[in-house]
């Protein structure tokens, strides 16, 4: 399969390298010159529990490619999805599928501005990856990928893609209940990422304080209430279990949102807490704690932006 990975960062690197190592034809679409230069010169290096692997595959901006791809996998942060999607319209043919297992909600709707809705696959992954430097990715531990069509219809291509991903060691299943998996992950991210980002605490420190624990669990409960109003049967005990597992097992982990805040970068708060608030308003479900954390993270983003531009704060 001729696969484009959009965004050669942590997750794009993990998925792209594993797919290339399993014999798929992979190309990276990127925008950052330093990343393109590093991968062009040295290949993309992935270290994981099986060792260090380097893959040498085409990499460049969208306009350096001309043939349509069979599958376009989006791995930008949510706030870059629109720019990325609109730059690659010429690489979308009548047979092209798109896939987003990015965190949060709203990416698929943005991709649908460029790729027909009936050819979009959505999903969730809890595989972890870190970007060590441009073109150098590390992934430790295991996880899974669950995918299904955005339309909810059964399409044989979804199972074929799941098989290709699984053969590449990405543990992927075609799952008609994918919205449930997506919302369970949103509840998890809304709770842990925003609380860690605002408090500056890693996952273990939040979990070791009664205040952090109850704040995170309140956010999870509000998010699950929104999912239930949307008729998505998310299990609150399962989400609580996942959060508790992270408190115990991922003690030193800094969620990406905390890493972004510390680096003065934009965060995915609009796609996570922001999306929950939007759905909550539509469904008439109050989300006071999700909203408070959203407002705090937005203020921190503004502060970082002002600091960068030499502003008053
Ligand atoms: N990391 C993880 O463990 C997990 C992440 N996710 C989700 O996966 C998604 C990707 O995350 P992650 O890999 O960590 O992010 P990264 O920031 O590591 O990678 C994103 C890459 O996309 C590049 N990019 C930005 N704009 C464009 C564009 N227009 N076209 C092509 N590439 C572009 C970025 O460049 P630049 O850096 O210069 O902006 C960067 O190299 C997010 O939604 C995240 O929430 C999901 C599960 C786990
Ligand atoms: C790795 C994980 C699951 C931790 O919260 C994540 O999704 C993130 O950091 O954004």
- pLDDT tens track, the chain, 313 positions: 999 999 999 999 999 999 999 999 999 999 999 999 999 999 999 999 889 999 999 999 999 999 999 999 999 999 999 999 999 999 999 999 999 999 999 999 999 999 999 999 999 999 989 999 999 999 988 899 999 999 999 999 999 999 999 999 999 999 999 999 999 999 999 999 999 999 999 999 999 999 999 999 999 999 999 999 999 999 999 999 999 999 998 888 899 999 999 999 999 999 999 999 999 999 999 999 999 999 999 999 999 989 888 865 5
Q: Best substitution site from 192, 196, 248, 249 to test ligand 2's pocket, by max atoms within 8 Å of Cβ?
A: 192
ipTM over 0.95: yes
Asked whether 139 lines ligand 2 (CB < 6 A), one says: no
SS3 helix, strand, coil % of the chain, rounded to 5? 50, 15, 35
Q: What is the pLDDT of residue 308?
A: 84
Q: What is the pLDDT of residue 29?
A: 98
Helices (H), 43-105: 81-87
Go through 271-290 and write b for each residue having 16 or more CB atoms within 10 A of its CB, e for each that does not.
bbbbbbbebbeeeebebebb
Q: Cα(199)–Cα(204) distance, rounded to whole angstroms?
A: 12
Pocket of ligand 1 from Cβ distances under 6 Å: 6-12, 29-32, 35, 75-78, 80, 83-84, 102-103, 125, 128-129, 131, 256, 268
pTM of the model: 0.96
Asked whether 134 lines ligand 2 (CB < 6 A), one says: no
* Nearest CA, atom 2, ligand 2: 255
Rg of the chain over all Cα atoms, to the nearest angstrom: 19
Q: Does residue 260 come out as left (phi exceeding 0), alpha (psi in the -120 to 50 range) or beta? A: alpha
Token pair 């010159």: residue: 33
Q: Which domains, from first to last, does the chain contain?
A: 2-176 (3.40.50.720), 179-305 (1.10.1040.10)
Ligand 2 mean position, distance from CA 94 (Å): 34
């Amino acid at each position: 399969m001729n696969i484009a990975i959009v965004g050669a960062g942590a997750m794009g690197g993990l998925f792209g390298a594993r797919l290339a190592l399993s014999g798929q034809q992979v190309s990276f679409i990127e925008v950052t010159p330093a990343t393109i230069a590093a991968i062009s010169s040295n290949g993309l290096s992935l270290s994981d529990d099986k060792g260090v692997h380097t893959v040498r595959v085409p990499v460049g901006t969208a306009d350096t490619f001309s043939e349509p791809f069979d599958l376009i996998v989006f791995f930008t942060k949510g706030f870059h999805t629109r720019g990325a999607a609109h730059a690659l319209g010429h690489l979308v043919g009548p047979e092209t599928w798109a896939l987003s297992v990015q965190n949060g909600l709203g990416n698929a709707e943005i991709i649908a501005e460029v790729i027909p809705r009936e050819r979009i696959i959505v999903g969730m992954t809890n595989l972890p990856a870190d970007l060590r430097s441009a073109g150098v990715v590390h992934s430790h531990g295991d996880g899974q990928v669950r995918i299904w069509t955005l339309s909810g219809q059964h399409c044989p291509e979804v199972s074929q893609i799941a098989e290709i991903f699984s053969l590449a060691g990405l543990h992927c299943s075609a799952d008609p209940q994918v919205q449930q998996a997506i919302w369970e992950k949103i509840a998890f991210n809304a709770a842990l990422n925003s609380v860690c980002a605002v408090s500056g605490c890693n996952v273990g420190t939040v979990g070791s304080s009664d205040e952090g624990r109850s704040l995170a669990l309140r956010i999870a409960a509000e998010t699950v209430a929104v999912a239930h109003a949307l008729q998505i049967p998310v299990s609150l005990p399962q989400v609580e279990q996942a959060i508790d597992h992270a408190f115990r097992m991922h003690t030193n982990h800094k969620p990406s949102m905390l890493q972004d805040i510390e680096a003065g970068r934009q965060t995915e708060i609009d796609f996570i807490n922001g999306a929950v608030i939007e759905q909550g308003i539509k469904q008439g479900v109050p989300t006071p704690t999700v909203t408070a954390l959203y407002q705090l993270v937005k203020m921190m983003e503004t502060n970082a932006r002002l600091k960068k531009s030499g502003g008053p704060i």
